[in-house]
Amino acid sequence: MRYEQAEKFWCKTLNSTCYPLVSTDNSQKHMRMSIKDDRSGRKITVTMRSLMKDETGWYHCGIKALNFDESHPVYLTVTGAVESLVGPKLVTGKTGSSVSIVCLYSDDYRDRKKYWCKEDIFRCSELVTTNYNSEKERKSISDNKSSKEFTVIMKELKKEDEGLYQCGIKRTLLSDGSFLDETTSVYVHVKDGSESLYGPSLVTGVIQEFVIIKCHYSLQYTWNTKFWCSFSELYNCLTLVKTDETKSNDRISITDDKTQRVFTVTMTGLREDDTGQYYCATGTSEDSAEYFGVYLQVNQVLSTLVPFFSSFFISSPDNLVLLCSTHFRNINIAVDASPSMTSIRHFTHL
């Protein structure tokens, strides 16, 4: 009964941080998600509509408490979609800085209108589009049809810019005059200007050559272990090398200069399949580490024009949904004492 009046929330876990999506006090709202607190039944119900494949991952149903939050993890699997539009799942920038988001699309959408919108409780409000308004209020969008990618740039970031956005492509005209679009969600996280861990967001290299990545950290992390890890399934970061073990990777090495507070990662003998998302990380362990995303692009030859973006994850935005054995376009996740195959429940009478 002690949590009856407490705020309840639903958040998505990315890189050890749970980013808020909806809450019962309405401080967080989402156009495709809602949360309901049944105080008499002492349970929380979260509804997610029009699921996209890139929403697969770990979430938490939580309760705000005085000293620390109580939460219960939920893994959501979305299947049955085709990959027509892919983009970053999380982009991080500092206040006052800029971030770039690159979204790739299939050949079918080369001549379609592309847009960037921010989600709220009612809809996703278009901010910039490729047909018109390609630059507006610190945001711009451009479409490179030859490489089948469009780029969004957000400049002079403010804390209020944080939130859930969508890369979108206008697709099918429905009978009611509306469009059923291809979309993929991107969470833009805006950090305070005093970054505790930072480095290059994009590094480019050439096959068979090497790259050097320097990651800077604040004084508090001087004596902590430093990691270099790569993105893998289920939003895990697989450690490739770290400073507190003698074992080394054949092609990757790491050194830590505690005087300059910078650790250096060297990757040699680059291969095309080395392209992907990596992280500089530091902390007492992998579970409690601070992360900074670095995207490595390995080319046949070094290009003079390479798009900049801070995170990239494969995703797909169609609507065929599977959570355990439940096949629905919309799903409900409740929290109850006994998990079942069709919903995950956990009573909140703590």
Tokens 């309840």, located at residue: 8
Within a 13 Å sphere around the CA of 297, how many CA atoms are in the beta-carbon half?
A: 19
Q: Residue 57's pLDDT is what? A: 82
pLDDT at 144: 87
Lowest mean pLDDT among 47-56, 57-66, 135-144: 47-56
Mean pLDDT of 299-310: 44
Give the pLDDT band (50/70/90) at residue 147: confident
pLDDT at 291: 81
**Confidence check: pLDDT of 315 > 80:** no
**What pTM does this model have?**
0.45
Residue 161 has pLDDT above 80, yes or no: yes
Task: Give the pLDDT score at 288.
Answer: 66
Band (pLDDT 50/70/90 cuts) for residue 180 is confident
Q: Is the pLDDT of residue 70 over 80?
A: yes
- Which pair of tokens denotes residue 122? 């009612």
CB-count exposure of residue 133 (10 Å: 0-12, 13-18, 19+): middle
Name which residue leads in pLDDT, 215 or 202. Answer: 215
User: Of 41-50, 194-203, 253-262, which gets the smallest average pLDDT?
Assistant: 194-203
Confidence of residue 175 (pLDDT cuts 50, 70, 90): low
Confidence label for 88 from pLDDT (cuts 50, 70 and 90): confident
Confidence (pLDDT) at 249: 74
Q: What is the side-by-side order of every strand in the sheet holding 276-283?
A: 202-206, 290-299, 276-283, 225-231, 237-242
**Lowest-confidence segment of 2-11, 188-197, 206-215, 262-271 by average pLDDT:** 188-197
User: Of 290, 310, 278, whose CA–CA distance to 218 is shortest?
Assistant: 290
Task: Report how far residue 209's alpha carbon sits from residue 95's, in angstroms, rounded to the nearest whole number.
Answer: 35
**Which of 242, 347, 277 has its CA nearest to residue 14?**
277
Chain-centre distance for alpha carbon 149: 18
Quick one: pLDDT at residue 247? 57
What are the residues whose beta carbons fall under 8 Å from the beta carbon of 146, sequence distance 6 or more? none
Q: Has residue 333 got a pLDDT over 70?
A: no
Confidence check: pLDDT of 341 > 50? no
Please give the pLDDT value at position 303: 38
Nearest to 46 by CA among 65, 19, 24: 24
pLDDT for residue 265: 95
- Tokens 């408490």 belong to residue: 65
